[in-house]
Amino acid sequence: MAAGTFRKANILPGFGPALGYTVFYLSLIVLIPLSAVFLKSVSSTWAHFVETVTAPKVLAAYRLSFGASFVAGLVSSVVGFLIAWVLVRYEFPGKALADALVDLPFALPTAVAGIALTSLYTENGWLGRYLIPMGIKVAFTPLGVVIALTFIGLPFVVRSVQPVLADADRELEEAATSLGATRVQVFTKVIAPMVGPSLLTGFAMAFARALGEYGSVIFISGNLPMKTEIAPLLIVTKLEQYDYAGATAIAVVMLVTSFVLLLGINMFQRRTRRYMEADEA
């Protein structure tokens, strides 16, 4: 067979069948359910939709949900990077146990996590009894919401950054050091560009996970109206009241806003990778 007519065989089907399966399953699992949410939200009048999503109680829940999720994502990014760095760069007794504990929030029921965190940070809790005299109240405050969301989002950052650090070429850091670069310069010029895209991915996943969290938050937040009520709680409340149009209206606003934020993050991440590839070339 001539070299020009040789065609490399693929393990998976061609582009057409693979794209067809992809579109089919995405439609079945994602697009159709989301379309049902949009259709249900417009089943009532436009005035009812606007009145529902602009109610002071709902706006306060939006501010708490998005604000706490964003802060929790930032905290998870910093702490998750440090944990991934320790797990990759150091050897110590109990390392395998520490590595396994990172995935505990994945397996732990969120309600159990919420009860455990509440027990820790209440006035009589193991940690709360020491924080309250210092003027730091965690349980039944927005701070408690941030802690709960950080707990469930941290593994996403660790597992996103850890493989990149493990595959990173240590010789680049040694070369930069031998050329007179300081530790700060090595971190900002060598390490940060390598882990930046994965760290941003971990932040996006932690942020998205925190937005939809319910079980671990309702216990530690206290669900105080206008103060510690999250948007998912309002959705559940309206469903219990059989106000399906109101519940889907709140969900649509969260869905659209989340999609725009995640789309922006993904576009920024793709542009960053292009710049990195252009610099390497």
In a domain, 7, yes or no: no
Tell me the residue range of the domain where 53 lies: 44-280
pLDDT the model gives residue 34: 79
In a domain, 12, yes or no: no
Percent of the chain at pLDDT exceeding 70: 93
Reported as a pLDDT band with limits 50, 70 and 90, residue 150 is very high
In a domain, 59, yes or no: yes
Q: Yes or no: say if 185 and 176 are a contact pair by the CB < 8 Å rule.
A: yes
Would the pLDDT of 238 be above 80?
Answer: yes
In a domain, 58, yes or no: yes
In a domain, 25, yes or no: no
Residue with token string 């760095």: 85
Q: Return d(Cα 12, Cα 168) in angstroms, integer.
A: 30
Would the pLDDT of 94 be above 80?
Answer: yes
Would the pTM of this model clear 0.75, i.e. be above it? yes
> How does the average pLDDT of the chain come out, rounded?
86
pLDDT the model gives residue 1: 46
Top-confidence residue, 9 or 202? 202
Count Cβ atoms within 10 A of the Cβ of residue 181 and give its class: 0-12 exposed, 13-18 middle, 19 or more buried: middle
Residues 6+ apart with CB under 8 A from 150: 72, 75, 76, 79
pLDDT the model gives residue 102: 92
pLDDT the model gives residue 149: 95
Would the pLDDT of 122 be above 80?
Answer: yes
pLDDT the model gives residue 38: 79
Reported as a pLDDT band with limits 50, 70 and 90, residue 95 is very high
pLDDT the model gives residue 110: 86
136-142: long-range contacts, CB 8 A cutoff, minimum separation 24: 138/220, 139/220, 139/222, 140/220, 140/221, 140/222, 140/224, 140/228, 141/222, 141/228, 142/64, 142/67, 142/68, 142/221, 142/227, 142/228
Q: Which among 87, 117, 91, 93 is positioned nearest to 105, based on CA atoms? A: 117
pLDDT the model gives residue 75: 96
pLDDT the model gives residue 276: 63
Residues 6+ apart with CB under 8 A from 164: 194, 195, 198
pLDDT the model gives residue 15: 75
Top-confidence residue, 26 or 235? 235
What is the per-residue pLDDT across 101-117, written as a single tens digit (0 to 9) for each? 999 988 888 889 899 99
pLDDT the model gives residue 101: 92
- The domain total for the chain is 1
Reported as a pLDDT band with limits 50, 70 and 90, residue 5 is very low
- What count of other Cβ atoms lies within 10 Å of the Cβ of residue 82? 13
Residue with token string 């996403």: 156
pLDDT the model gives residue 6: 46
In a domain, 67, yes or no: yes
pLDDT the model gives residue 187: 86
In a domain, 9, yes or no: no
User: Can you give the CATH number for the domain in which 139 is found?
Assistant: 1.10.3720.10
Count Cβ atoms within 10 A of the Cβ of residue 205 and give its class: 0-12 exposed, 13-18 middle, 19 or more buried: buried
Top-confidence residue, 258 or 281? 258
In a domain, 37, yes or no: no
pLDDT mean over 223-248? 90
What is the per-residue pLDDT across 23-82, written as a single tens digit (0 to 9) for each? 888 888 888 887 878 777 777 788 888 899 999 999 999 999 999 999 999 999 999 999
